[in-house]
């Protein structure tokens, strides 16, 4: 018996972890306890294991060093910064302003409110990275309007929950920070790699809404005339956008001439910044001088869009260009959010305290899961668990693709029970080495897992996004504020049903990222490209002449 346990410690340990986690005690402490318990057993059984267990008491002294390693990890520092930034922005009313105005802009189109939710969801995702904030504000603002004008409840709930989870995959998401850290890759690269998949995913959501408006037009009606309080006036907005696009193009040309060495994506970021400033200044001049060149709708759209766009360029732009590390970007974003909230006179001391309090608790529970996982892994590696997992994963049939299919099904299944912090800290460190051994690019791998883990927010019945939406959606019949009609509530069943099509879209997206790695691989675009021919030539020159066995003499 003891021999059997000694030689199969790793699988037994992993199975115990699953059971213990399911007991429902906090994950961080459960992980650590399983690690410590098996450490004890491992030390006792080491002589019986035939060399597969390498544990002794002295190793325990490595634990504080492991904690200290987590403490001085600069990458993790980005977590509180982006969380704090998201919370401040949420409370500063940016989401409300955006939803109101963009809803008005898209309202006249069939399915317009749903498109507005997706668009604003993506914008918020690119500024905050906090799922709860987006879902709650969209649930509070857009859901009542959608219900008022007769949207299908399932569609309304699904689109809000799903758009909120975009914060998971569009940078600066926390999941990408943690995944990059666990895979030992740079967060900046992970951000660059996730950008296009994030946008494609948003487009897929919009595509689904479009399909619904064709198959079942009554599920997503256009806003009636009386609801469009900002009036019409898309014409002048189009003119303004065209002008801004012109400025963008001119700026790109100018940058290409004056800075010929600048990579194309960096030039695009700078040109975009110039174009945004141009549009904003124009809108402000129009507003203050009452020129009336722009319709009310157009100037409102520009004025609400600029602060989030400016923050996106400040944070993501500096990270992408490589001026700032993600941690610095996060800190500046948090400062920018504070300044924005003060400028809008929406920052109170209570709000600040609330945001700090939530950030502190989130930081603590996230890092403690990591600490627990580090204790677990000390033992797990000591019993050769990593070689067991790696061997199991690399011997799957089908090479890279077989591995990816298996791993994705596995993570999709686990996402029903675990949320992404647990997945990232427990599962990813086990998968990473096997992926690397199979020659899979780890950034690509991280983005695939990121899109997959997004489903953990949407799975009925435990997805957090659904839970947040439930907390703000009406539970009982209510009297609509505008129409005065009695309106039915949104049932929990409708929220679950609404989420299902979006979970399916998510799986389609995982398949797309697996099938088209180039969506992610653009992260390499900024790298120095080596000319293989030239390198070969240089090698030829230094290589010894064929036939001579002796290496050339070394010169000092």
Binders in 486-545 for other proteins, by CB under 8 A: none
Contact present, 421 and 434 (Cβ < 8 Å): no
Tell me the torsion sign for CA atoms 291, 295, 296, 299: negative
464-483 positions binding other proteins, by CB under 8 A: 464, 467
Q: Of the ranges 99-107, 225-233, 240-248, 420-428, which one interacts with other proteins (CB under 8 A)?
A: 420-428
**In the complex, what is the shortest distance from the CB of residue 1 to other proteins, in angstroms, rounded to a whole number?**
23
Contact present, 491 and 460 (Cβ < 8 Å): no
Under the binding rule (CB under 8 A), the answer on residue 377 touching other proteins is: no
Cβ closest to other proteins, residue 357 vs residue 536:
357
Contacts of 413 (CB under 8 A, 6+ apart): none
Under the binding rule (CB under 8 A), the answer on residue 190 touching other proteins is: no
Under the binding rule (CB under 8 A), the answer on residue 87 touching other proteins is: yes
Separation between Cα atoms, residue 226 and residue 234, nearest integer Å? 17
Under the binding rule (CB under 8 A), the answer on residue 13 touching other proteins is: no
Q: Of the ranges 236-244, 252-260, 367-375, 435-443, which one interacts with other proteins (CB under 8 A)?
A: 367-375
Separation between Cα atoms, residue 393 and residue 403, nearest integer Å? 7
Under the binding rule (CB under 8 A), the answer on residue 447 touching other proteins is: no
Under the binding rule (CB under 8 A), the answer on residue 362 touching other proteins is: yes
Contact present, 469 and 135 (Cβ < 8 Å): yes
Cβ closest to other proteins, residue 28 vs residue 117:
28
**In the complex, what is the shortest distance from the CB of residue 84 to other proteins, in angstroms, rounded to a whole number?**
6
Burial of 486 (0-12, 13-18, 19+ CB in 10 A): exposed
What's the angle, vertex CA 353, arms to CA 336 and CA 470, rounded to 5?
Answer: 90
273-302 positions binding other proteins, by CB under 8 A: none
**In the complex, what is the shortest distance from the CB of residue 471 to other proteins, in angstroms, rounded to a whole number?**
9
394-413 positions binding other proteins, by CB under 8 A: none
For every residue of 247-286, DSSP letters joined together read: HHHHHHHHHHHH-TTS-HHHHHHHHHHHHHHHHHHHHHHH
Under the binding rule (CB under 8 A), the answer on residue 419 touching other proteins is: yes
For residue 486, the SS3 value is: strand
Cβ closest to other proteins, residue 122 vs residue 294:
122
Count of residues near other proteins by CB under 8 A: 81
Q: Measuring CA to CA, which residue among 372, 499, 370, 368 is closest to residue 425?
A: 370
Separation between Cα atoms, residue 461 and residue 463, nearest integer Å? 6
116-135 positions binding other proteins, by CB under 8 A: 129-133
**In the complex, what is the shortest distance from the CB of residue 268 to other proteins, in angstroms, rounded to a whole number?**
20
**In the complex, what is the shortest distance from the CB of residue 422 to other proteins, in angstroms, rounded to a whole number?**
7
Q: Residue from 7, 8, 12, 29 that binds other proteins (CB under 8 A)?
A: 29
Count of Cβ atoms closer than 10 Å to residue 537 Cβ: 10
Q: Of the ranges 27-35, 253-261, 287-295, 342-350, which one interacts with other proteins (CB under 8 A)?
A: 27-35
Q: Of the ranges 216-224, 296-304, 350-358, 487-495, which one interacts with other proteins (CB under 8 A)?
A: 350-358
**182 torsion bin: left (phi>0), alpha (psi -120 to 50), beta (else):** alpha
Cβ closest to other proteins, residue 33 vs residue 250:
33
Total count of residues recorded for the chain = 556
Tell me the torsion sign for CA atoms 82, 87, 93, 96: positive
Under the binding rule (CB under 8 A), the answer on residue 352 touching other proteins is: yes
């Amino acid at each position: 018996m003891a021999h059997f346990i000694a030689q199969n410690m790793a699988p037994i340990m992993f199975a115990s972890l699953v059971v213990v986690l399911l007991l429902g005690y906090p994950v961080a402490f459960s992980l650590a306890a399983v690690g410590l318990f098996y450490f004890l057993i491992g030390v006792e059984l080491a002589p019986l294991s035939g060399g597969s267990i390498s544990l002794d008491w002295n190793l325990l002294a490595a634990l504080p060093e492991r904690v200290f390693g987590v403490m001085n990890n600069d990458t993790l520092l980005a977590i509180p910064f982006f969380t704090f930034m998201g919370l401040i922005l949420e409370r500063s009313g940016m989401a409300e302003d955006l939803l109101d105005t963009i809803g008005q802009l898209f309202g006249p189109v069939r399915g317009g409110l749903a498109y507005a939710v997706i668009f604003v969801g993506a914008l918020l995702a690119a500024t905050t990275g906090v799922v709860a904030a987006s879902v709650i504000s969209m649930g509070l603002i857009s859901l009542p309007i959608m219900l008022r004008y007769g949207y299908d409840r399932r569609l309304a709930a699904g689109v809000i929950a799903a758009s909120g989870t975009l914060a998971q995959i569009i940078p600066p998401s926390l999941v990408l920070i943690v995944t990059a850290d666990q895979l030992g890759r740079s967060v900046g690269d992970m951000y660059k790699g996730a950008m296009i998949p994030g946008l494609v995913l948003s487009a897929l959501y919009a595509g689904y809404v479009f399909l619904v408006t064709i198959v079942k037009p009554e599920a997503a009606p256009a806003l009636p005339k009386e609801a469009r309080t900002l009036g019409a006036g898309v014409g002048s907005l189009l003119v303004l956008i065209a002008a801004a696009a012109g400025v963008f193009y001119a700026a790109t040309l100018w940058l290409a001439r004056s800075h010929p060495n600048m990579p194309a994506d960096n030039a695009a970021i700078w040109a975009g910044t110039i174009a945004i400033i141009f549009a904003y200044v124009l809108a402000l001049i129009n507003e203050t001088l009452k020129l009336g060149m722009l319709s009310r709708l157009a100037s409102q759209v520009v004025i609400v869009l600029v602060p989030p766009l400016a923050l996106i360029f400040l944070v993501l732009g500096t990270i992408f260009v490589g001026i700032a590390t993600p941690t610095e970007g996060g800190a500046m974003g948090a400062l920018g959010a504070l300044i924005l909230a003060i400028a809008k006179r929406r920052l109170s001391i209570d709000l600040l305290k609330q945001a700090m309090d939530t950030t502190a608790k989130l930081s603590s529970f996230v890092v403690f899961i990591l600490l627990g996982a580090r204790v677990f892994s000390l033992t797990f590696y000591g019993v050769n668990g990593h070689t067991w997992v790696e061997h199991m994963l690399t011997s799957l049939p089908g090479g890279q693709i077989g591995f990816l299919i298996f791993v994705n099904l596995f993570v999709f299944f686990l996402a029903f029970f675990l949320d992404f912090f647990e997945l990232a800290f427990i599962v990813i460190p086990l998968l990473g080495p096997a992926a690397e051994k199979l020659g899979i690019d780890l950034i690509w791998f991280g983005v695939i897992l990121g899109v997959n883990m997004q489903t953990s927010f949407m799975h009925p019945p435990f997805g957090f996004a659904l839970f947040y939406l439930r907390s703000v959606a009406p539970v009982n019949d209510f009297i609509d504020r505008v129409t005065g009609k009695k309106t039915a509530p949104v049932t929990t069943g409708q929220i679950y049903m609404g989420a299902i099509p979006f979970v399916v879209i998510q799986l389609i997206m995982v398949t797309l990222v697996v099938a088209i790695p180039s969506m992610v691989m653009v992260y390499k675009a900024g790298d120095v490209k080596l000319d293989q021919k030239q390198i070969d030539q240089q090698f030829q020159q230094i290589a010894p002449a064929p036939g001579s066995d002796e290496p050339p003499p070394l010169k000092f």
